[in-house]
Amino acid sequence: MTSLVDGGTAARVRGRSLWLWVALALSLAVNAFFVGTAVWWATTARMLTPAERFQQIVTDLSLSDDQRDAFRQFIVTARRGTRQLRDNNLPLLRKVWEELGKPQPDQALIAKLVDQATENRRVYQKTMTAALSQFLADLKPDQRARFIDLTERRHDPTAWRLRRLVAP
């Protein structure tokens, strides 16, 4: 009778061993899938450099030579304005942090510095809006709509990945 019990036990052990190997193989397959997916995303879904993004916009919109010149002028204005905003606000923000680091920060000075940085930002936004409006005025209605669509998608964290998947 002990041989039947031993045989049953051995069969259960083999069955458990088989399930253990199946679970191990399944776990390995799932892990390989996730690692492969991570590698694929890292190699194919990279962010474009500004120059690549600008070239892509020129290509996507099929810009004429005059429109390309207007787009280049907009880019120059945007870069200049962004640099000027940074140069104007960086010292102000450093002063705010210096003041905040004091045991008794001067709240009036902090408010004044923040107001100046905010005013610099407002001037920058008005300048950029005027420059963008000037560029968009040179586009055909369908190009303008496409440009706005591309810009809105750029700020959507999932859209640029989806666009890469469906783009020809």
Residues 38, 60, single domain; the answer is: no
Give yes or no: residues 36 and 91 share one domain: no
Please give the pLDDT value at position 4.
52
> Looking at residue 166, what is its pLDDT?
41
Give me the pLDDT at residue 115, please: 94
Give the tokens for residue 81: 């304005």
C-alpha angle 163-132-120 in degrees, rounded to nearest 5:
110
For residue 30, the model assigns a pLDDT of 82
- Profile the chain (168 residues) by mean pLDDT over runs of 10 residues: 56 71 82 78 65 79 89 90 94 94 93 94 94 92 88 60 44
Same-domain status, 117 and 161: yes
Q: From CA 116, how far away is CA 162, in angstroms rounded? A: 40
Asked if residue 66 and residue 32 are part of one domain, the reply reads no
Are residue 31 and residue 110 in the same domain, yes or no? no
- Total structural domains in the chain? 2
Q: Which domain holds residue 156?
A: 50-166
Residue 93 zone, left/alpha/beta (φ > 0; ψ -120 to 50; rest) = alpha
55 and 30 share a domain? no
**Pair 32, 115 in one domain:** no
**Could you give phi then psi for residue 97, rounded to 5 degrees?**
-65, -40
Angle at CA of residue 153, ends 49 and 125, nearest 5°:
75
Answer yes or no: do 101 and 146 share one domain: yes
